[in-house]
C-alpha cells in the first residue's frame, strides 16, 4: 500500500516514454503490417546472403530482411508479381537447380492497415487497464 503511488508513477512514466518514442522516431513495420511478400526457400548448399540480395536488386525489388537457418532462407520483401517471382526463381535455379520452396505468402497493404489499427487499439486498451489496475484503492487479493 505504501509504495502504490511509486508503482503508478513508474508505470505511467514508462508508458509515456514509449508513446513519445513511437511518435518521435516511429517504428519500421514488418511485412505483416505493411504488406509484402514472405518467401521461404531451402537450398542444397549454404549460400551467401549477398547472392540472394543481388538477385532481388537485379529485379529492382527492395528487401526488408533475409534470415538464415542453415541452408533455409526466409526472405521478406515488398510485394512481388508472379512474373517477377518467376524471374527470381530462374536466378535462384542458377545457384541451386534443386531448390525447394517451403512457403510463399503475399500480404496486401489493406490487411496491414487493419492489423495496425487493431494493434494500436490493443496497446492503448492494455495500457489503460494496467494503469487502472495499479491505481485502484484496494487490492484484489
Q: 8, exposed or middle or buried, with CB in 10 Å at 0-12, 13-18, 19+?
A: middle
Give the residue-averaged pLDDT of 95-124: 83
Residue 75 has pLDDT above 90, yes or no: yes
Q: Which residue has the cell 525489388?
A: 61
Average of per-residue pLDDT values in the chain: 85
Question: What's the rounded Cα separation, in Å, for the pair 55 and 109?
Answer: 24
- For residue 9, how many C-alpha atoms fall within 13 Å in the half-sphere facing its CB? 4
Q: pLDDT at residue 105 above 80?
A: yes
Q: How far apart are CA 132 and CA 63, in angstroms?
A: 42
Question: 20-72 pLDDT, tens per residue?
Answer: 998 898 877 666 667 788 999 998 887 888 888 999 999 888 888 899 888 89
User: What is residue 29's predicted lDDT score, i.e. its pLDDT?
Assistant: 67
CATH 3.30.70.260 residue spans of the chain: 36-107
| Residue 60 half-sphere exposure toward CB, CA atoms < 13 A | 0
Closest CA to 33 of 114, 122, 138, 132: 114
Q: What CA–CA distances, in Å, run from 34 to 38, 79, 107?
A: 12, 10, 8
The pLDDT of residue 47: 83
pTM, two decimals, is: 0.61
Superfamily name with CATH number, domain 36-107: ACT domain (3.30.70.260)
Amino acid at each position: 500500500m505504501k509504495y502504490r503511488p511509486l508503482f503508478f508513477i513508474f508505470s505511467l512514466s514508462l508508458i509515456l516514454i514509449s508513446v513519445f518514442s513511437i511518435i518521435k522516431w516511429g517504428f519500421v513495420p514488418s511485412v505483416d503490417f505493411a504488406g509484402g511478400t514472405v518467401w521461404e526457400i531451402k537450398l542444397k548448399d549454404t549460400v551467401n546472403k549477398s547472392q540472394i540480395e543481388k538477385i532481388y536488386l537485379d529485379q529492382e525489388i527492395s528487401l526488408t530482411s533475409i534470415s538464415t537457418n542453415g541452408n533455409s532462407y526466409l526472405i521478406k520483401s515488398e510485394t512481388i508479381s508472379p512474373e517477377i517471382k518467376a524471374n527470381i526463381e530462374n536466378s535462384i535455379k542458377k545457384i541451386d537447380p534443386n531448390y525447394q520452396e517451403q512457403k510463399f505468402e503475399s500480404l496486401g497493404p489493406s490487411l496491414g492497415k487493419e492489423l495496425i489499427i487493431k494493434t494500436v487499439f490493443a496497446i492503448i486498451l492494455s495500457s489503460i487497464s494496467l494503469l487502472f489496475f495499479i491505481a485502484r484503492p484496494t487490492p484484489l487479493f
